Amino acid sequence: MLCLGETMALFVPGEPGPADQVRTWIRTFGGAESNVACNLAQLGLPAKWVSAVGDDAFGKAVVAAVAGQGVDVSGVRVDPDRPTGLYIKESGLMRYYRSGSAASALGPSLVDDLDLNVRLLHLTGITAGLSDSCLDLMRALIAVPRITHRLSFDLNWRPRLWTQRNPAVLLELANRADIVLVGDDEAELVWGVSAPQEIRRLLPGPSTVVVKHGARGATLLEDGAEIFEPALRVEVVEPIGAGDAFAAGFLAATLAGESPARRLRSGHLQAAVALRTHDDVGLPLPREMVRALLDADAQGWADAHLTTQGVR
């Protein structure tokens, strides 16, 4: 499975208090596509992440950190002239410093270097908003014949990337994917609709559409059917990264040929991993717990409450 997109050095406060008074910051990494790759690797699937980083300490740290999660990073380019992107997390507030980053210079020439003999290529709308060349790359990737792979696309709306660009292109990209994941709140902001059937009418192209409803659950629209599965109740530490984790869980279960309900539950369970940590990628849940919750009846699933101490 191949995930392509920018990953940045991420700094989170290393002590409590207002951000302007924090003196200790913890460096980690974060990026939607590498988050998906790391979660896929955590689930036991071979995952590769492709991007570009600067020839700097942050770039080396990012690549090493993603590789440390079991992800193949052999396709990551090192740009000698442009820096690695950076973002800072302040109590849920995200501050991005990515203008002119190495990843923003990626373009369609990258396609010739990619091995697309994979089962799945995962992209997001973030890449399309980074630069004109990145949008050209997205269009080139979507145009590649899908002999062995399916293409998944997560809208991942980032409004600051689109202040100088027309977000209408996101509908074009989504409609040419095989699998689309989108939050109902994102769809409302970008496309002016939020109900699953309204979103589906805008997206007739993909065979599979997943509409995420935050803490309420998610709806799968596929083969003319509409299946809703409530989210697992979770004691939330930090919500950032949960959508990427959900995508990984859902996609992994989809490739495994699981039933619609189990695919959605797998997404919810992997999202719970991210919800329980300040990092974008968390520690895996015990396999016994995952199996029990996947097999639980509707009432057992609804009654479960995942805390930092386990399920109660």
Distance (Å, rounded) from C-alpha 81 to C-alpha 53?
10
**Please, are residues 102 and 79 in contact by the beta-carbon 8 Å criterion?**
yes
- The two most distant CA atoms of the chain are separated, in Å, by 56
Q: What are the CA-CA distances from residue 280 to residues 39, 96, 233, 271 (Å)?
A: 10, 15, 19, 10
**Please, are residues 37 and 3 in contact by the beta-carbon 8 Å criterion?**
yes
Minimal CA–CA distance to 29: which of 52, 54, 61, 4? 61
The single residue of 244, 279, 280, 297 carrying the catalytic annotation is: 244
220 DSSP assignment = E
Is 244 annotated as catalytic? yes
Distance (Å, rounded) from C-alpha 53 to C-alpha 62?
8
Amino acid at 14: G
- Catalytic site positions: 244
